[in-house]
Amino acid sequence: MSFFWLRIARTIAVGCCVATGAAAGFAKANLVRSDTGACGEPTTLIHEIQGTGRSSPLLGQNDVVVDAVVVASFPGFPDGLGGFFLQEEKGEQDGDPRTSEGLFVFERELAEGVSVGERVRVRGRVGEFFGMTELYRVSELQRCPTRGKARPVTVRLPVDDLAAWEQVEGMWVRLSQPLVATDHYGLERYGEIGLAAGGRLWQATHREAPGEAALARAAADARRRILLDDGSDAYRPRPTPYLDRRDGRSLRLGDRVKALEGVVEYAFGRYRIHPTRPPAFTPGRAQRPQMPPRVGGRVHVVSWNVANYFNGDGRGRGFPTRGARSFFEFERQRAKLVATLVRLDADIVALSEIENDGVGPDSAIAGLADELNRRTSGSPYVVVDPGRPRLASHAISVALLYRPASVEAVGPPSVLDRDAVDAFDAFDAFDDSRNRPSLAQTFEHRSSGERFTLAVNHFKSKGSSCAAVGDFDRGDGQGECNGTRTRAAQSLVAWLAENPSPVPSAPVLIVGDLNAYPREDPVRAIKTAGYIDLLRWFGGRKAYTFVFAGGAGRLDHALAQWDLLPFVTGAGVWHTNADEPSSFDYGEDNPPERYTPGPFRASDHDPVVVGLFPEKAYIAKERKPFHAAPRNPAE
């Protein structure tokens, strides 16, 4: 984690002893000083400095002398931590599990003069740097004869309580158990990766009902995770740590490490381990899938959040945008999106988080369709025109592409937005100032003549407040704006029940990013209205499309009316993005050698694929039996 500017600010503010120039040479040449007393004379023991609470009972005291063993050293700054870790020998420990026997010493110059395994005597001031107990303003340091060894403490996950990490803060620890990579959000920027024992983590409300059950799962998951850091304060460290496995392939979430050894630090509100031995990652069970899942059927529908696809003014200018910051980045982003869509080879593509600038020749969706048609050997795609220049006032919107050679658009599309709300009081709970308007279009499969209505959606995110409309985070695990999303879901199914399409008999398939996990209220509202969760039906509880804060879950959904279910041949997720580190995305500040114009890390969401209409006409006895339908469709 990068503390670079924080460290610099603290150094200036307190006048920390940073040796430079002649002073640095003096520090390195004169490590042995007599002012600290003779080696072996009584000193302040580390557990006395650490105490039994979160902060040191000796906080702010100057001229504190410590005599202990160096268990880890990370010299240099910001390429290192600018210090070293000390630990008491076993015979000098107090035996109280509440107190730590380790301590970080922050001294950028003197750290280069100590070696792991030697005993040193240090004088300095006790401080708490954002919750991490340390010794700083080091004025004297001397080497002492080695009397014994410090040994690593065994920690096993899950810990009984998160406070257990405070008890080993600054200490050398060993976790002799398999750990799974579950979070790479900070890998590219800070060189850190989240690990968990007992398998990868899931979003609580992906598996449990909101409320007590979800909160209990979240608390239990917090106890079985730890953050692996890289022993430096560098921002965007190069090379990116942990990105290359020993087998020559790249790290993905789900990969494993057999054990972990290092020292414990507390920074930015989280405990983390800086390794003293390089961890060796091995492939997880699910490796990078080169092809989309097989879902059968004669019509394939893809639903995908494309993570802010903006094309500037459509003529190579108008950057930076909410997505690409330059035309160079835009071209790289487009190449990855198109490569994904070419390989998916869908008949209908439902997109979310695309620039809301209409469907004209310079629009993002028109440009994407043009590039896709240039890159694919199949029949060309056509953009569904909603009949208005923008869908409400959002920067992003939903969009539809389809192949007329495979399916025909029947009648004009319909939009659920403020206009629809004004026309039908039943939908007045749909807030299009927060939810993106929904777009519905009926299609007819040319070969079979079967029809269905596809509705693509993008509900309000969890990432910003809805306090202005009284929709607060209720603390039940569903996050901000749950009421806004739930009302949108209820309005959506009511609107679809009114048959906004000119083909009232066509069964409905709802897709898109609902910003709600499967057990949350918005998804349950749609299921209660008679829709079946296809990814749950065909893939079970382990289907996910997104990873947030280390937890996998499904924000992207495909929900079909019962009348459509007999014609659904399969549904699945192509895991091309959520498990892939951001080092592989289109950002030009990533390592240049990591970029490829292929489908991996084209977005932060995985695309959902649904197969429709079996090769043979539907006959019940020819179909494999479905799982037994749940008694309560909402479950």
Task: Please indicate, yes or no, if residue 630 is contained in any of the structural domains.
Answer: no
Predicted confidence at residue 425, as pLDDT, reads 64
114 and 191, same domain (yes or no): no
Q: Provide mean pLDDT across the span 12-28.
A: 37
What's the DSSP call for residue 632?
S
Each residue's pLDDT tens digit, 186-223:
999 999 999 999 999 999 999 999 999 999 999 999 99
Q: Does residue 108 have a pLDDT over 90?
A: no
Identify the bridge partners of residue 556 per DSSP, sorted by sequence position: 513
Whose tokens are 């197969």? That residue is 611
Is residue 291 situated within a structural domain?
A: no
Asked if pLDDT for residue 112 goes beyond 90, the answer is no
Clarify whether residues 92 and 189 are in a common domain: no
- What pLDDT was estimated at residue 605? 98
Give tens-digit pLDDT for 389-418: 999 999 999 999 999 999 999 999 999 998
pLDDT of residue 23 exceeding 90, the answer is no
pLDDT at 424: 66
Domain boundary among 151, 170, 205: 151
Say if residue 125 is in the same domain as residue 211: no
Residue 158: pLDDT over 90: yes
Q: Give the helix ranges, DSSP H, for 96-241.
A: 187-190, 204-207, 212-223
For residue 536, the surrounding DSSP H or E stretch is helix 534-539
Q: 249, 282, 315: which is the final residue of a domain?
A: 282
3 touches 10 (CB < 8 A) = no
d(CA 415, CA 455): 9
Nearest-angstrom CA–CA distance, 332 and 314:
15
Please give the tally of structural domains in the chain. 3
Q: Are residues 366 and 393 in the same domain?
A: yes
Per-residue model confidence as pLDDT tens digits over 370-379? 999 999 888 8
pLDDT of 261 > 90? The answer is yes
pLDDT at 13 over 60: no
Report the CATH number that the domain containing residue 475 is assigned in CATH.
3.60.10.10
Same domain for 579 and 443: yes
Contact 606, 546 (CB under 8 A): yes
Has residue 25 got a pLDDT over 60?
A: no
If asked whether residues 205 and 98 sit together in one domain, one would say: no
pLDDT at residue 516, rounded to an integer: 98
DSSP string, 428-451: TT--TTTSEEEEEEEEEETTT--E
Say how far apart CA 398 and CA 454 lie, in whole Å.
12
Of 7-21, 257-271, 403-417, 440-454, the poorest mean pLDDT is in 7-21
- More confident: 34 or 516: 516
Calculate what percentage of the chain has a pLDDT beyond 70. Answer: 90
Residue 632 confidence (pLDDT): 45
| Residue-wise pLDDT tens digits, 424-471 | 666 778 999 999 999 999 999 999 999 999 999 999 999 999 999 999
337 within some domain: yes
- Same domain as 158, residue 66: no
Whether 7 has a pLDDT exceeding 70, the answer reads no
Could you tell me the CATH number of the domain that includes residue 165? Answer: 2.40.50
Q: Which of 2-6, 140-144, 482-486, 523-527 has the lowest mean pLDDT?
A: 2-6
User: Does 390 share its domain with 405?
Assistant: yes
Do 232 and 319 belong together in one domain? no
289 in any annotated domain: no
β-pair partners for 438? 416
Are 146 and 161 contained in the same domain?
Answer: no
Instruction: Indicate whether 501 and 361 sit together in one domain.
Output: yes
Residue where one domain finishes, among candidates 151, 182, 208: 151
Q: What does each C-alpha distance from 468 to 49, 434, 464, 484, 517 come to in angstroms?
A: 47, 11, 11, 11, 24
Residue with tokens 């296809």: 534
pLDDT of residue 546: 98
Share of the chain above pLDDT 90, in %: 82
Closest CA to 153 of 114, 196, 105, 95: 95
Whether residue 612 lies inside any domain: the answer is: yes
| Host domain of residue 49 | 4-151
At residue 225, the pLDDT reads 98
Query: Residue 361 falls within a domain, yes or no?
Result: yes
Same domain membership, residue 541 and residue 428: yes
Q: What is the pTM of this model?
A: 0.91
Residue 367 lies in a domain: yes
Which residue is listed with tokens 């009584």?
42
* CATH number assigned to the domain comprising residue 83: 2.40.50.140
* 479 occurs within a structural domain: yes
Once rounded to an integer, what is the mean pLDDT over residues 606-611? 98
